[in-house]
Amino acid sequence: MSFSEFVDGPFWYFSATVFVIGVLWRLIGMLSMGSKTDYSVPRSSGAAGALGINIKRFFPRSDFWSRIKLQVVAGYLFHVGLFALLFFAAPHIEFYREYVTGFGWTALPEWAFILVSEIAFLGLLLLILHRLMNPVTRMISDRGDYIGSILIFLVMLTGCLALARSHEALRVTHFFLAELLLLYFPFSALMHTFTFPFSRGFAGAHYGRRGVKV
Ligand code: HEM
């Protein structure tokens, strides 16, 4: 079996299975932990607090804004760009149609795909540089924070190299790195993709019941 057959076949099924089972395992584990019953009389609704904080936290608190501008702007550039290129770029939609969903949807034009890719790159590079150069983030970052960022950077870089669709080896390298990312995902902080609404909601419900304004 050649390397490209391995990447297109068994390794794809293996990494996709680890990703799906790993993510479900972590989510079910987290949700079944439960929490201690709160016997205090609620001052306000916990559910409303959970929902409210989920929406409000998309925007930073004004008290913090001047200190975290860079992370917020770079964070949005990266995440919105990544979302657009992952779900609305023609080659990726083609991939989902063939391997996952069986159907496709409208894609961005090629120029817009390239533009959102550049935007995502800019955001990611700023975030990595900020993590490295800011004394506080540098101190609280561990190996996992860098591995996730560098892996996604390499997937994006090889995606750019595959844009011309001129060499099969470039497509296979891009796909292989995306599979490594799928394997790493459930065991890393990248899980925040799925867990962030729950962690925000947990804090929001806690404060909501106590009538704390967030
Ligand atoms: C700058 C960002 C990216 C660009 C420019 C890009 C570009 C491309 C291109 C041009 C292809 C088609 C290759 C071909 O058919 O020859 C492709 C396929 C693919 N990309 Fe990306 N990509 C990017 C990011 C990502 C990311 C972040 C992921 C996953 C996390 C990803 C996963 C895939 C997969 C699974 C395929 C299918 C490979 C195949 O059909 O063999 N890409 N990408």
**Distance from the first to the final alpha carbon of the chain:** 57
* Fold of the domain built from segment(s) 3-30+42-209: Fumarate Reductase Cytochrome B subunit (1.20.950)
Residues 128-165 have pLDDT tens digits of 999 999 999 999 999 999 999 999 999 999 999 998 88
Gap between the Cα atoms of 198 and 207, Å rounded? 14
Distance 80 CA to ligand 1 centre (A): 17
pLDDT of 35 over the 80 cut: no
Residue 91 CB–ligand 1 contact under 6 Å: yes
Residue 148 CB–ligand 1 contact under 6 Å: no
Distance 180 CA to ligand 1 centre (A): 13
Q: How confident is the model at residue 36 (pLDDT cuts 50, 70, 90)?
A: confident
Please give the number of the atom of ligand 1 that sits closest to the Cα of 157. 1
Gap between the Cα atoms of 11 and 6, Å rounded? 6
Q: How many CB atoms lie under 10 A from the CB of residue 58?
A: 9
Gap between the Cα atoms of 96 and 101, Å rounded? 6
> Ligand 1, atom 8: nearest CA belongs to which residue?
159
Report in angstroms the alpha-carbon separations of 121 from 80, 93, 208: 11, 20, 38
The residue among 193, 60, 73, 88 whose CA lies nearest residue 123 is 73
Across the chain, mean pLDDT equals 94
Gap between the Cα atoms of 4 and 201, Å rounded? 43
Distance 132 CA to ligand 1 centre (A): 27
Gap between the Cα atoms of 48 and 146, Å rounded? 36
